[in-house]
Amino acid sequence: MNLEKLRDTEYIKCVELLAELIDLDADTKEKIHKCFQSMGIKNFFLHLESVDLSPETYEKLKSIKFIIETVDEKRGRA
């Protein structure tokens, strides 16, 4: 499997996980998947405010972003 297919498989897994966690509809899942493909997951969360999402989805993803940042900080201190 080449790197691009592997990366896309991981993006799909991440989108599916987000969909389960915060109840995303099919259109939003597709939009997030396209963002992951074009900018990567880290940049997606870094520039979350620039993505065209509903206010409710944006707030939920902000909470996910906060959790990710918190875990990263704790790992950095360990």
The tens digit of pLDDT for each residue in 7-63 reads: 999 999 999 999 999 999 999 999 999 999 999 999 999 999 999 999 999 999 999
In this predicted structure, the answer to whether residue 78 has a pLDDT above a threshold of 50 is no
Of 48, 43, 42, which Cα lies nearest the Cα of 62? Answer: 48
Cβ neighbors of 1 (< 8 A, separation 6 or more) are 9
pLDDT of residue 76: 78
pTM of the complete model: 0.88
pLDDT of residue 1: 67
Longest CA–CA separation in the chain, Å: 39
